[in-house]
Structure 1
Amino acid sequence: MAARGGPSAYARSVLRIIDARTGEPVDAAPARRGLTRIEAHTEGFDVTALRILLVADLLVRALELGGTPVWALLDEERQQAELRAGAAALGVRPFEDGRDAASGLGEAQVLHVVREGGAEPDGVRVTVAPVHSEAPPAEADPAALRLALLSRRRSVPVRLDTAALADAHDTLVRWRRAVAGWAQRPSRPIPDEVRTELRTAWEDDLDVPGVLGVLRWVESAPDLPDGARFETYAYADRLLGLDLTHDLGTSS
């Protein structure tokens, strides 16, 4: 995989996100490294609301990987218990209650994660397309559901059906087994061009499908040491939150 042009993989991370109000990309983190506040506006509890929380979680992870302090809030008065339980099952880290956010913490950037066509708060709006579900999420493996929701860019609607969830489950099983096997080989550093491809993808309006595409390439790339495959998957999982090291110690 050829590295794209631009700065070194170890240069300052710059996550840029499309502001739905203007259609223009903006820096998700201020240049002076101040605090970024992320507010998730779910408008009730459904699968699209869970996708909103997942996108907010990805923003938190991406910014923290770049060294930016983040304050994550859930701005919702209804069905908070259901939202928090569903988010926890998906591996979304807890959000503070947005009703306590009026005073602020001197944040330099505010990102509002909202559903497409939903609320229009002041500040940068990060819109999330709807989820059309034919399979009740409660019956799905949470990790497979997370991967299925990650498989499309946030601006693209997701259709959750039995086939989509089965495909996500099979991919997770295969990757976790592969990671467990690679872990038994000598460790090797992530190639610079692979690290650059990963960062370039998620810093481009949170292109998570692009990250998944890099992992698919790494999975079978010729002449790539297994130790480097392991380190690549473990590094990318800091963003993806798929517990790809789940099977460590179980591979024969």
Structure 2
Amino acid sequence: MLRITDARTGEPVDAAPARRGLTRVEAHTQGLDPTNLRVLLTADLLVRALELGGTPVWALLTGERQRAELRAAGAALGVRPFEDGGDTGTPLGEAQVLHVVSEGGATPDGVRVAVAPAHGEAAGFPDGADPAVLRLALLAHPRSTPVSIGPAVLADAADTLGRWRRAVADWARRPSRPIPDAVRADLRTAWEDDLDAPAVLGVLRAVETDPELADGARFETYAYADRLLGLDLTRDLGSPA
């Protein structure tokens, strides 16, 4: 069960209701800048985690400034489509509301998921560069920790992403093997514990170098984790060795 820290109380709460029902995830933004892009990315990660757990989700984007520009920037980062938020009322069957907001932001009643500021180049990624590099750079830091996205951070993320994509393409040429139960449990524990994306990335780093794992199991692990991370890790499948 995914548990998330409610910024109103500082206590963890169940992100999905005990009784099966619709969960609304609402991203509250105030324009296009690195912090608001991080808010939208966190909301996307939350939607993905809930859907992986079988929870139906209604994803909304609320904000009066530069909503179209933010939506376009999010799409480039692999953020799934969010409907326009606002005065939406309460849909039939809604059982939980999760508001994703920058630190200190006010929201209506519901669980508040706070996101620390981001600074640097996040809103103005260089033309022609792979946006997944920026996504990885942002996911590599806990959402409660401020992050500065500069050339060194992006270069490190680009190296990691390129290495992983090449490895996944290579592992795909080997016989498939199931994800080990312990590895699957480590992944689920990581993202169900307050949506800890850095811990998920840590599991992938351990899988990458574990001499006991078959390459086919590594491939399945990375493909499974990417359903949450959205880094397009299988992009280079079928490319020349």
TM-score range, shorter chain: over 0.9
Q: In the superposition, relative to structure 1, how do residues 179 and 129 fare at CA in structure 2: closer, same or farther (>3 Å)?
A: same
1:160 matched residue in structure 2: 149
In structure 2, what is the equivalent of residue 114 of structure 1? 101
2:195 corresponds in structure 1 to: 206
- 1:100 is displaced (CA, Å) by 5.1
Residues 160 and 223 (structure 1 numbering): CA distance in 2 closer, same or farther, change over 3 Å?
Answer: same
Q: Which amino acid aligns with 1:170?
A: D
| Partner amino acid, structure 1, of 2:225 | A
Partner of 2:52: 65
Aligned-pair CA distance for 1:136: 5.8
8 Å contact from structure 1 (residues 233, 244) kept in 2: yes
Judged with a 3 Å threshold, the aligned counterparts in structure 2 of structure 1 residues 218 and 251 are, in CA distance, closer, same or farther, namely: farther
Q: Give distance in 1, aligned partners of 2:119 and 2:137.
A: 12
| Local SS of the residue matching 2:94 | coil
Q: Are 1:48 and 1:131, in contact at CA under 8 Å, matched by a contact in 2? A: yes
Contact map agreement 2:119 2:149 (CA 8 A) in 1: yes
Letter in 1 for 2:106: A
Structure 2 counterpart of 1:24: 11
Question: Shift of the alpha carbon at 1:45?
Answer: 1.5
In the TM superposition, residue 119 of structure 1 has moved relative to its aligned partner by: 2.0
Aligned twin of 2:131: 142
What SS does structure 1 have at the residue aligned with 2:125? helix
Instruction: Write the distance in 2 (CA, Å) between the matches of 1:205 and 1:231.
Output: 24
Partner of 2:84: 97
User: What secondary structure is seen at the aligned counterpart in 1 of 2:222?
Assistant: helix
In the alignment, is residue 234 of structure 1 matched against residue 220 of structure 2? no
1:223 shift after superposition: 1.7
- Counterparts of 1:74 and 1:105 in 2: how far apart (Å)? 19
1:215 pairs with 2:204: yes
- Using the size of structure 2 for normalisation, the TM-score is 0.96
Number of the residue aligned with 2:69 = 82
Looking at structure 2, the residues matched to 135 and 93 of structure 1 have their Cα atoms a distance apart, in angstroms, of: 18
Q: Does 1:35 pair with 2:22?
A: yes
Q: Which amino acid aligns with 1:22?
A: T
RMSD across aligned C-alpha pairs, in angstroms? 1.2
Deviations 1:110-158 (CA, angstroms, capped at 9, x unpaired)? 0000000122321100000000115763315311000000001110111
Question: In 2, Cα distance between the equivalents of 1:78 and 1:136?
Answer: 14
* Aligned position for 1:131: 118
Q: Which residue of the other structure, out of 18, 36, 39, is the alignment partner of 1:52?
A: 39
Which TM-score applies when normalising by structure 1? 0.92
What corresponds to 1:187 in structure 2?
A: 176
Q: For 1:134 and 1:163, locate their aligned partners in 2 and report how far apart those are by CA, in whole Å.
A: 11
